[in-house]
Chains A and B, each alone.
Chain A
Amino acid sequence: MSGLAQAAGALGAEVRSPAVVALEAAGRSHRRRVLLLRVLVGVGFLALWYGASGRWIDTLLISSPDLVAARLWRWTLDGTLWNNLSITLLATVLGFGIGCTSGFVLGLLFGRFTTLAEVFDPYITAIYSIPKIALAPLFIIWFGIGIESKVAVSAAIVFFVIFLNTYSGVREVNPLYVHTTRIMGGGEGAVLRHVIVPSAAAWVITGLKVSVPYALVGTVIGEFMSANRGIGYLISQATGLFNTTSVYAGILVLALVGAVINTGLKYLEAWVLRWRGAA
């Protein structure tokens, strides 16, 4: 037995041989190179844009990076940015939250009670195939031009992604885990908490990652159609006035928001699924 324990100890020990050090150094220099190239691509793009604007392509069509930056700066100072961004973010977060919660709960329920899933299957497939954007005008009739209709559009989009992913995740649970957990003394609640939910987590996280941009899209589409505040409203107003600088500024804000949320989700995923990292 002591032999086994020793072998186990050796396996867990920290070993930093020259080969390990060299591999780590190579990894670091590769990451540095990638970062440098990324920055170069970004700067190159901006330079090209700046150079093309007014020289090869009419500034009215593509604006210019310095004009966009100045516009963003002005929006930041006069409160336009926060006034509109806050409402877009709020609608996105609410829609995302409502869609996620309802999708997750219903996905679990349908995953556990298969008869329920069988009965509703054709209806869900039918509703799923409707482009949710087509519901936006209806939601505006129901909920008005305020934030509620935007929340409804994002929630409707997010709901289906999360619902279907949770449902698949629950169906994919290894029955062996369920049996052994029950034999060890776990009840239905314990199985749900310790087996089904963590097992479905990988699917749910994938759903979350896919649906974040959708939530944003849902809100912005709602704001395009009818609103009096929000980044989508700002963009659609500017489009009407051929104010491309404002259009680009609005799009840039949306891109940044999407990137920030996605990065956050990447870290969340790495943490929730940390058990997957094989040695």
Chain B
Amino acid sequence: MSISIQAVRKAYVARGAERLALDRVDLEIAAGEFVAFVGPSGCGKSTLMNMIAGILPVTEGVIVHEGRPVRGINQHVGYMTQADAVLPWRTVRQNVELPLRFHGVPRRDRAARAEAMLDQVGLAGFGGSFPAELSGGMRKRVALAQLLAYGPETLLMDEPFGALDAQLKLLMQEQLLRIWTARRQTVVFVTHDLAEAITLAQRVVVFSGRPGRIKQIEDVALPTDRDPFRARFLPEFERAYTRLWEALAPEIRRGEAA
């Protein structure tokens, strides 16, 4: 088991009152599994991911990652968000090399590995550019190259392609799936896009509105070596979409009415 979430609750204190963000969440994620979290905004799916990353503490319960309870920043995961986290004052190459440096990779090997990773995400020749000189999609690929360079076994991704246009999103999804098929990391992918969740994940977890609870878990019957461009025209995709939408729609309506 890669990630084990046991009876986790998360409460925030705001304006003198305690507000429950997540209520009693139990979930087991196997090593090498690709899981997507979907739910209405404010359901706590990103909060749960940030608790796996150790950025936020749990209020109650335990999260065990690779056999270790998560306490404080979890340095055994890779983390990618919708907002750009590549450091703007470092060149593309320096950004990709940074985690390698932290992991004690010697200088010569760092450069070679960074080049190889940039090549893999189609950014060969851009190593000397600063992030501000690249497009949003290219910056995403820098972040991806950075994640892959130091090879964490678990990837936590919070709407990583949320800010991209639809076509670019498909290209990034294809790239991510290809990488995952080759390396088989455990992936937790948070998204509000149901189609994206089904396209990518083996299992989709639907959260209810605030306070977030797991409402439904759907296994996606698509083959693991699926093609994101064609997956959406398969009957399995349609079936999964219908069932997930039935679970999700009332939650979204409830959120809008409140």
What does the 1/0 interface line of A155-188 toward B look like (CB < 8 Å)?
0000000000000000000001101111111110
| Contact residue among B53, B131, B133, B135 (Cβ-Cβ distance under 8 Å from A183) | B53
Residues of A within 8 A of B150 (CB): 184-185
Within the complex, the shortest CB–CB distance from B216 to chain A, in Å, comes to 30
CB atoms of A176 and B99 under 8 A apart: no
Within the complex, the shortest CB–CB distance from B190 to chain A, in Å, comes to 15
Within the complex, the shortest CB–CB distance from B88 to chain A, in Å, comes to 5
| Contact residue among A1, A11, A275 (Cβ-Cβ distance under 8 Å from B88) | A275
Interface range on chain A (Cβ under 8 Å from partner): 20 to 34
A8-B126, A12-B125, A278-B133 known; A183-B89 Cβ under 8 A: no
Residues of B within 8 A of A274 (CB): 130
Which of the segments A25-33, A54-62, A121-129, A190-198 contacts the partner chain?
A190-198
Q: Is B252 an interface residue (CB 8 A)?
A: no
Which residue, B53, B98, B103, B150, has most C-beta atoms of chain A within 10 A? Answer: B98
| Contact residue among B83, B88, B103, B132 (Cβ-Cβ distance under 8 Å from A185) | B103
Within the complex, the shortest CB–CB distance from B173 to chain A, in Å, comes to 13
CB atoms of A277 and B89 under 8 A apart: no
| Contact residue among A181, A276, A278 (Cβ-Cβ distance under 8 Å from B98) | A181
In whole angstroms, what is the CA distance A4 to B85 when docked?
22
Within the complex, the shortest CB–CB distance from A268 to chain B, in Å, comes to 15
Within the complex, the shortest CB–CB distance from A37 to chain B, in Å, comes to 33
Of all chain A residues, the one with the shortest Cβ separation from B130 is A275
Q: Is A201 an interface residue (CB 8 A)?
A: yes
| Contact residue among A185, A198, A276, A278 (Cβ-Cβ distance under 8 Å from B75) | A185
> Within A185-217, which residues are at the interface with B (CB < 8 Å)?
185-187, 190, 194-195, 198-199, 201
Q: Is A9 an interface residue (CB 8 A)?
A: yes
Query: DSSP class of A's interface residues: helix, strand, loop or mixed?
Result: helix
| Contact residue among A8, A180, A198, A276 (Cβ-Cβ distance under 8 Å from B125) | A8
In whole angstroms, what is the CA distance A11 to B85 when docked?
23
Residues of A within 8 A of B163 (CB): none
Of all chain A residues, the one with the shortest Cβ separation from B175 is A1
Residues of B within 8 A of A279 (CB): 132-134
Q: Is A134 an interface residue (CB 8 A)?
A: no
Q: Is A5 an interface residue (CB 8 A)?
A: yes
CB atoms of A176 and B83 under 8 A apart: yes
> Within A1-32, which residues are at the interface with B (CB < 8 Å)?
1, 4-5, 8-9, 11-12
Within the complex, the shortest CB–CB distance from A95 to chain B, in Å, comes to 29
In whole angstroms, what is the CA distance A11 to B124 when docked?
12
CB atoms of A278 and B89 under 8 A apart: no
Residues of B within 8 A of A9 (CB): 125
> Within B31-88, which residues are at the interface with A (CB < 8 Å)?
53-55, 73-75, 77-79, 81, 83, 85, 87-88
Residues of A within 8 A of B123 (CB): 8
Residues of A participating in the B interface, judged by any CB pair closer than 8 Å = 1, 4-5, 8-9, 11-12, 176-177, 179-187, 190, 194-195, 198-199, 201, 274-279
Residues of B participating in the A interface, judged by any CB pair closer than 8 Å = 53-55, 73-75, 77-79, 81, 83, 85, 87-91, 98-99, 102-103, 122-126, 129-135, 138, 146, 150, 171, 175
